[in-house]
Amino acid sequence: MATKKKTKAPAAKSAKKTLSKAKNSKAKAAAKKPAAKKTVAKKPVAKKAVAKKPAAPKAAPKKTKKAGKVKALFTRGDFVVYPTHGVGKVENIELQEIAGHKLKLFVIAFDRDRMTLRVPVAKAETSGLRKLSSRKIMDSALEKLKGRARVKRTMWSRRAQEYEAKINSGDPMAIAEVVRDLHRNVSQPDQSFSERQIFESARDRLALEVAAVEKTDIEAATEKLEGLLSSSPDPVAKADKNAADPKKDSKAA
The answer to whether 133 and 210 are in contact (CB under 8 A) is no
Domain 71-131, CATH number (from 2.60.40.420, 2.40.10.170, 3.40.50.2300, 3.10.110.10): 2.40.10.170
Q: Among the listed ranges 69-78, 85-94, 171-180, 205-214, which one has the minimum average pLDDT value?
A: 69-78
Question: Cβ–Cβ contacts within 10 Å for residue 78, how many?
Answer: 15
Could you tell me the pLDDT band of residue 194, with boundaries at 50, 70 and 90?
Answer: very high
3 state SS of 82: strand
239: pLDDT strictly greater than 50: no
**Tell me, what's the pLDDT at 191?**
80
3 state SS of 130: strand
Q: Hey, what CATH topology would domain 135-239 get?
A: Methane Monooxygenase Hydroxylase; Chain G, domain 1 (1.20.58)
β-strand partners of 87: 81
**Tell me, what's the pLDDT at 167?**
95
- How is the chain split into domains, by residue range? 71-131, 135-239
Give the DSSP per-residue string, 92-110.
Answer: EEEEEEETTEEEEEEEEEE
**Tell me, what's the pLDDT at 24?**
59
**Tell me, what's the pLDDT at 241?**
44
Compute the distance between CA of residue 112 and CA of residue 138 in angstroms, rounded to an integer.
21
Closest Cα to residue 203, out of 186, 180, 184? 180
Residues 44-103: tens digit of each pLDDT: 555 555 556 656 656 555 554 444 455 668 999 999 999 999 999 999 999 988 888 889
Residues 24-35: tens digit of each pLDDT: 555 555 555 555
- More confident of the two residues 106 and 185: 106
71-131 and 135-239: same fold? Answer: no
- More confident of the two residues 28 and 142: 142
Percent of the chain, pLDDT > 90?
Answer: 48
- More confident of the two residues 250 and 57: 57
Please compute the mean of the pLDDT values over residues 214-234 and round it to a whole number: 88
14: pLDDT strictly greater than 60: no
**Tell me, what's the pLDDT at 42?**
60
Compute the distance between CA of residue 126 and CA of residue 54 in angstroms, rounded to an integer.
41
Across all residues in the chain, what is the average pLDDT? Answer: 77
**Tell me, what's the pLDDT at 58?**
62
176: pLDDT strictly greater than 80: yes
| pTM (2 d.p.) | 0.63
| DSSP category for residue 117 | E
Q: Among the listed ranges 131-140, 164-173, 177-186, 205-214, which one has the minimum average pLDDT value?
A: 177-186
242: pLDDT strictly greater than 50: no
